Amino acid sequence: MAEEVVWEILWTESAKKSFNKIVEYLETNWTEREVSKFVNETIYLLSNLKRQPEMCRPSLKRKNVRIGIVNKHTQLVYHYQSRKKVIVVLLFWNPKQNPAKLKY
């Protein structure tokens, strides 16, 4: 049986702010069900990243930065450090926004 690699996940301030902004938007404009669904989708993606940090598409801007899909409205941008076994969540991003404004 193969040993499971567990990575530590850290969040930047930008990631916390962008995540909370999405949750606040959902709480204001949608129901608790959508909030719960978004949080669960995020937890699911992060738990998969712990085992396979390279599973998402690589960024064209920076090395070791990848972009994962939380749902059709939200992407998670993260950086991983393979030596330290650390994943750093950089931010959450709506792919419908202007890509020129995407800064990480």
Residue 5's pLDDT band, with cuts at 50, 70 and 90, is low
Domains of the chain, each with CATH number or no CATH? 8-95 (3.30.2310.20)
pLDDT of residue 1 exceeding 50:
no
What digits encode the pLDDT tens for the residues 41-94?
999 999 999 999 999 999 988 888 999 999 999 999 999 988 889 999 999 999
What digits encode the pLDDT tens for the residues 12-35?
999 999 999 999 999 999 999 999
Tokens of 50: 């712990």
Tokens of 7: 């990575």
| pTM over 0.75, yes/no | yes
Q: 4: helix, coil or strand?
A: coil
Strands 65-71 and 74-81: antiparallel
Tokens of 79: 């950086």
